[in-house]
Structure 1
Amino acid sequence: MNQSPETLSVVLAGGGTAGHIEPALAVAEALTARDPGIRVTALGTERGLETRLVPARGVALSLIPPVPVPRKLDRALFTFPFRLVRALLRTRATLKDLDADVVVGFGGYVSGPAYLAAKSAGIPVVIHEANARSGLANRLGAFLGARVLAAVPGSGLKDAEVVGVPVRRSLLELDRPALRAEARKFFGLDPDAPVLLVTGGSQGAASINDAVSGAARTLGDAGIGVLHAYGRRNSVEVEQQEGAPAYVAVPYIDRMDLALSAADMVLCRAGAMTVAEISSCGLPAVYVPLPHGNGEQELNARPVVEAGGGVIVPDAELDPGRVVREVVPLLRDRARLDAAGAAARGAGHRDAAARIAEVVVETARHGKGAGAAGTAGTSGADATTEPEKQGPENRRTENE
């Protein structure tokens, strides 16, 4: 593919889950806002959410073979090297077809092959680590010499520049007061009562569902409405109280912009993207970190909580009584609620997407210049090896 010398081709690698895809799409948006001529392509696999989310946001998608890292001793472990080589060859061919100037990784199983393929082709890499503790793929990218960016300090990636989590512009600029009436009408919520938004992610969370639905009567008695996304694999049945604000339970929310506009407070998990989006909208939250993993969800929420923008409740301590104690006093005190919302908004990095885009363009243009200088100053066998000498080994990285 022939392109203008001034045109940049940026390849994003962050498929699999929304926690990897959404930061990538926010950066794609920031790149095209910075320069509409930049060509952005996302890498993904046919298994991930990217097949639905990426095209819907107007970003080109190229598929590569999935290569999940085996976690136990079984047949998949023995076939892993062959599947990895296949994925690397396909990914390297894709990067060549796209004339990639830079690869930007956000972690997950799409990123590993992308980092290795880029390294072998002499293409510079930028990594963003959204989580408070880095994942395996981003540790690999950092080891290979990528430029490292991180959401928060202490991710475990050396020389990482802390930039925050990139959030799409529509949420950064969301005018919640202006949309409040429309949003509440859309969901069938009381137009005036304080509203608690509840979500456990796309799959829902049984502990959150049980605790909040169990508190439904007390919340209703306190004059509090609820918008509860319980997950497509779950069910929640709450009897509506006569005279109380509506308790609206739905399996999934497509219009999250309206859900956030309708809400005064949120009760949710603490994935990096969840924390970033909610806090950027100025909503205080009760964060209930996943009880599994290495504890990164609590770390994700900690900066917002320390700023006064919410509280952390361990999953094991969440029950109807705890929901009432954390939610009712705040939702019934407008001054405290507004102060907590302002603290949440001020806790993040609202310019994260723009800063990452700046680094990506800088890295890509530096790579172009280095490649051109190497080609001009060498010949024969040396000319083929020079781009690798100028490649990602002198850069840094990070992600969710």
Structure 2
Amino acid sequence: MKMVISGGGTGGHIYPALALVKEVMSREPDSKVLYIGTQEGLEADLVPKEGIPFQSVYITGFKRSLSFDNVKTIWRFIKATRRAKQLIRDFNPDVVVGTGGYVCGPVVYAAHSIGIPTLIHEQNVIPGLTNKFLSRYSNCIAASFSGSSSYFPKEKTVVTGNPRATEVAQADGSRGRQSLDLPTGKKYILIVGGSRGARAINEAVADMIPMMAEHPDYFFIYVTGEIHYEKVIEDIRASKPANLLVRPFIYNMPEVLAGIDLIVNRAGASFLAEITSLGLPSILIPSPYVTNNHQEKNARWLESQGATRVILESELSGSKLLSSIDAILRDSGTERHMREASKSLGLPHAATLVYNQLKSIAKG
């Protein structure tokens, strides 16, 4: 298979793309892949490190309010589409895939305009502007959650899950616990605010630290983010309880996720795919700083399915966070129900499901 894939801006768009590339290469080792992103996005760093050929176009996102910048964006879209057409013609792929971010707009549209089959993947429950626009130009729309289906044409929408979930579902939880040298016989709670950390979550955990010693059956793994680590360590040095492990970052996150009992985190789409593939109960604290408030919409949908508890950042405190943890882990029925609900939403074979859709639409 020859595939062009595009996804950019954040890891939530890039990691599913990379997981799909791995799936394609594992099934068809002779496949050729070209990744088209932007030089400004995280993809310009991550993709070449994976040994995947990378090309870029220049494009910016639309403002949601009336702005002269949108006129400039339309012109950039036209130029980016022209360049994407040339890149696609030169590569001559069997299929073009978009996994989100505004760079997918000109790439997928260009492929459609020259007759190349296209697939877009939507990670969030509520689709973004780019995928709503591209849905009319795509042969197939792969959705991570069934809650997305009503936003797209029914006849070409398939719920596949998120390819990133496949990598996490295969992880070994015992290796994750061993890598952190965790004590046995505890309930393991992982608290993390994303790769760069989240100040509000860090502050809530700082408030909770004096109460942790009163819960010796719990063991807390607290990931601060690199930029917050030194300050957090300094702040808690005199009061750090024995059942708390603090790390700036965890590199083997899939293994660690597979070995814990409860996670506290933001509500990014790829992360939700990971925890549902494992059937993990969660407490989600959506970031209020993201476009279209999509994290809260993701979290509320999972909450409506019984898989999570949601605490808004404006309502967050150490006591509220700890009482929410207790409400789940002190009640075996609640914990079991949340595990079952989370697992029912997960699609651990998502990469295979998306691959099958690719095969069904690819030319030749």
Smaller-chain TM-score bracket: 0.7 to 0.9
CA distance in 2, matches of 1:342, 1:184: 27
Distance of aligned partners of 1:284 and 1:88 in 2 relative to their CA distance in 1, 3 Å threshold: same
Q: Deviations over 1:40-77 (max 9, x none)?
A: 22211111111232233343322222333245566643
Query: Is 1:157 aligned to residue 152 of structure 2?
Result: yes
The Cα of 1:332 is off from its aligned counterpart by 5.2
Confirm or deny: 8 A CA contact 2:84 2:106 kept in the other structure.
yes
Q: Structure 2 residue aligned with 1:39, among 25, 32, 49?
A: 32
Confirm or deny: 8 A CA contact 1:303 1:347 kept in the other structure.
no
CA distance in 1, matches of 2:305, 2:73: 44
The Cα of 1:247 is off from its aligned counterpart by 3.5
CA distance in 2, matches of 1:54, 1:220: 43
Q: Structure 1 residue aligned with 2:342, among 331, 341, 344?
A: 344
Distance of aligned partners of 1:169 and 1:349 in 2 relative to their CA distance in 1, 3 Å threshold: closer
In the TM superposition, 1:1-400 aligns within 5 A as 8-71=1-64, 76-155=69-148, 156-159=151-154, 160-176=157-173, 178-185=174-181, 189-223=182-216, 224-234=218-228, 235-236=231-232, 237-239=235-237, 241=239, 244-250=242-248, 252-291=249-288, 293-302=291-300, 304-331=302-329, 337=335, 340-364=338-362, 367-368=363-364
SS at match of 2:146: coil
Confirm or deny: 8 A CA contact 2:8 2:37 kept in the other structure.
yes
SS at match of 1:127: strand
Confirm or deny: 8 A CA contact 1:45 1:63 kept in the other structure.
yes
What stretches of structure 2 of length at least 5 have no aligned partner? Answer: none
SS at match of 2:171: coil
CA distance in 2, matches of 1:309, 1:42: 34
The total of aligned residue pairs comes to: 354
The Cα of 1:239 is off from its aligned counterpart by 3.5
Distance of aligned partners of 1:69 and 1:306 in 2 relative to their CA distance in 1, 3 Å threshold: closer
CA distance in 2, matches of 1:240, 1:166: 43
Amino acid at match of 2:121: H
The Cα of 1:91 is off from its aligned counterpart by 1.0
Confirm or deny: 8 A CA contact 2:283 2:310 kept in the other structure.
yes
CA distance in 2, matches of 1:217, 1:331: 19
The Cα of 1:263 is off from its aligned counterpart by 3.0
Distance of aligned partners of 1:317 and 1:72 in 2 relative to their CA distance in 1, 3 Å threshold: closer
Cα RMSD of the aligned pairs, angstroms, is 2.6
Confirm or deny: 8 A CA contact 1:304 1:310 kept in the other structure.
yes
The more displaced of 40-49 and 70-79 is 70-79
Percent identity, aligned pairs only, is 31
Q: Deviations over 1:90-131 (max 9, x none)?
A: 211111121112111122111001122112211111111111
Amino acid at match of 1:18: G
Aligned to 1:395: none
Amino acid at match of 2:58: P
CA distance in 2, matches of 1:299, 1:75: 29
The Cα of 1:138 is off from its aligned counterpart by 0.9
The Cα of 1:313 is off from its aligned counterpart by 2.0
Confirm or deny: 8 A CA contact 1:67 1:87 kept in the other structure.
no
Confirm or deny: 8 A CA contact 1:130 1:150 kept in the other structure.
yes
The Cα of 1:21 is off from its aligned counterpart by 0.8
Structure of larger gyration radius: 1
Q: Deviations over 1:126-180 (max 9, x none)?
A: 111111111111112112243222122343122222222222543111121x314
Distance of aligned partners of 1:37 and 1:242 in 2 relative to their CA distance in 1, 3 Å threshold: closer
The Cα of 1:286 is off from its aligned counterpart by 0.5
Confirm or deny: 8 A CA contact 1:197 1:265 kept in the other structure.
yes
CA distance in 1, matches of 2:63, 2:288: 23
SS at match of 2:213: helix
CA distance in 2, matches of 1:265, 1:238: 23
CA distance in 2, matches of 1:163, 1:92: 28
The Cα of 1:303 is off from its aligned counterpart by 5.5
Larger relative contact order, structure 1 or 2 (CA cutoff 8 Å, min sep 6)? 1
What stretches of structure 1 of length at least 5 have no aligned partner? Answer: 1-7, 369-400
Distance of aligned partners of 1:163 and 1:258 in 2 relative to their CA distance in 1, 3 Å threshold: closer
CA distance in 2, matches of 1:27, 1:36: 13
Confirm or deny: 8 A CA contact 2:120 2:138 kept in the other structure.
no
The Cα of 1:85 is off from its aligned counterpart by 2.5
